[in-house]
Amino acid sequence: MDIIRIIREKLEESKARCSTEEYRELVKSELDKCLDLLAEQIEFESASLYVLVRRKRKLQKMCDLGGGVNFIDSVRFENGSGLSAWVAKKQKPIYLSDIHRGSRHGQAPIRSYLSMPIVADENVIGVLNLAHTKAAAFERREMLTIKNFIENLKPILEIYQRYSYGFRNLSESNFTY
């Protein structure tokens, strides 16, 4: 995944010349590209990528593909709402390989759901959710691809967290120049 390495380098170089809002939008745009790359490697219907905002200890959706997905979004947990927040708190993935939902859920209900924590230095920095209308969509080959994708994605999320956290600390300080 050399393209993710190139994205990481681009983000590192952009920190110095972008405002916080510009940088946030740049990161979102680059993460959209990352989800597109994952979609080229494995099949899924929708995806959502969340980052943990360290200052607030809450998950923030950074991007999604195919409308995004987060089960039980109406249930609130310590780090936000839905299963993504539960996964972030427990640092354990959830894989529902064959969800049986009635026709009341539309023409193409979700049959497979995966929510993976993104952990760096024993701390959750994000969560990746994937969904498919096909049962057992994320088996061994797909899981290996997803885990490799997450490993490549970690530095991007860490860069974003460091930049966002550092900028807020600097702007909230009492130093004058």
Tell me the per-residue pLDDT of 27-41, one tens digit each, with 9 for 90 and over: 888 899 999 999 999
**CATH (residue range 2-169):** 3.30.450.40
Domain ranges of the chain: 2-169
At residue 15, the pLDDT reads 75
Q: Is the dihedral of CA 73, 106, 63, 119 positive or negative?
A: positive
Give the span between the Cα atoms of 82 and 94, in whole angstroms.
12
Helices 20-41, 2-14: crossing angle, 10 deg rounding = 180
Which 3 state secondary structure label does DSSP give 80?
Answer: strand
At residue 165, the pLDDT reads 58
Of 11, 5, 67, the closest CA to residue 37 belongs to 5
The pair of structure tokens assigned to 154 is 């970690």
Q: What percent of the chain has pLDDT over 90?
A: 49
At residue 136, the pLDDT reads 93
pTM value is: 0.85
CA 68 to chain centre: 11
Residue numbers in the chain where pLDDT is lower than 50: 102-105, 167-177
At residue 161, the pLDDT reads 83
Q: For the chain, how far is it from start to end, CA to CA, in angstroms?
A: 42
